[in-house]
Amino acid sequence: MRANKKLTDEIVALKKQIREAERENASLVIWVERIKQQIAAMKESSVEVTIDNCADMLEQGAENIKNTGEAINCIMSHFDRGKK
């Protein structure tokens, strides 16, 4: 019975991590869309789009990608554990 309880607890924890990763992914998709809109607005106003004037947006995106990657790695480590 304890094994079932432990497994149930692990499943609940995994579901929570999956929901968190989905939220991170959704925020990343929103961020990418905002970047596209900001770049389009820059082009419309004849502002040259360069890495320098997009640096803040790129840094924020890198942090979002890192967080999403860490969440996915954490989830996958649970599945890899069962294969050994």
Read off the pLDDT of residues 29-73 as tens digits, 9 standing for 90 and up. 777 787 788 878 888 888 777 766 677 666 766 776 777 677 667
CA distance 31 to 6: 37
CA distance 67 to 69: 5
Find the distance separating the first CA and the last CA of the chain, reported in whole Å: 23
Read off the pLDDT of residues 4-38 as tens digits, 9 standing for 90 and up. 888 888 888 888 888 887 877 777 777 778 778 88
CB 49 within 8 A of CB 42: yes
CB atoms within 10 A of CB 21: 19
